[in-house]
Amino acid sequence: MDPGAPADVSYGHNVESAWLLPNARRALALEPAWERFHRYLDHTLRTGFDLRRGGVFTSGAGDGAADQRHKIWWVQCEMVAALVDARGHDRDGRYAAALARTLTFVERHMTDRRDGILVEAVEEDGRRLRPRKSGDWKAGYNEIRAACSLVDVWSP
């Protein structure tokens, strides 16, 4: 690896870190670090979000555009959880718009209509890449966390 090359960025891990940090700080009775939350989330929106179709790509290099442009189920779930948290700090509506676009993409292209389970991965345009719905690394907690976070959005 070239020491001067930008590091690979996993967008799913970045947005997972984004929403985990404020929750961990709350658990420790500390004030959430919203500035860091927004830095992680905004980087993903700027470099790893599909503005045309919705959803988050897999990875990229530093501040460059995404170079792994397929979309993996758990990355979308972590993005939903982060965007739900971000809505409380959304002055211009961009987080709400990104949430709506992510949910639309996931519903149209990643959700098996027979049982509601997400497929593992799709191409950038939504064509099925890995249509299986279970496996060693595909546990339901990401999907459940995303669904539970959405309850807060639509609950009175």
Confidence band of 4 (pLDDT split at 50, 70, 90): low
Residue pair 11/66 in contact (Cβ under 8 Å)? The answer is yes
**Structural domains of the chain ordered from first start:** 8-154 (1.50.10.10)
Residues 101-139 have pLDDT tens digits of: 999 999 999 999 999 999 999 999 999 999 999 888 887
Neighbour order of strands in the sheet with 128-130: 71-72, 121-122, 128-130
- Give the closest residue to 56 by CA, choosing from 96, 46, 64, 151: 46
Residues 65-89 have pLDDT tens digits of: 999 999 999 999 999 999 999 988 8
Residues 21-61 have pLDDT tens digits of: 999 999 999 999 899 999 999 999 999 999 999 999 999 99
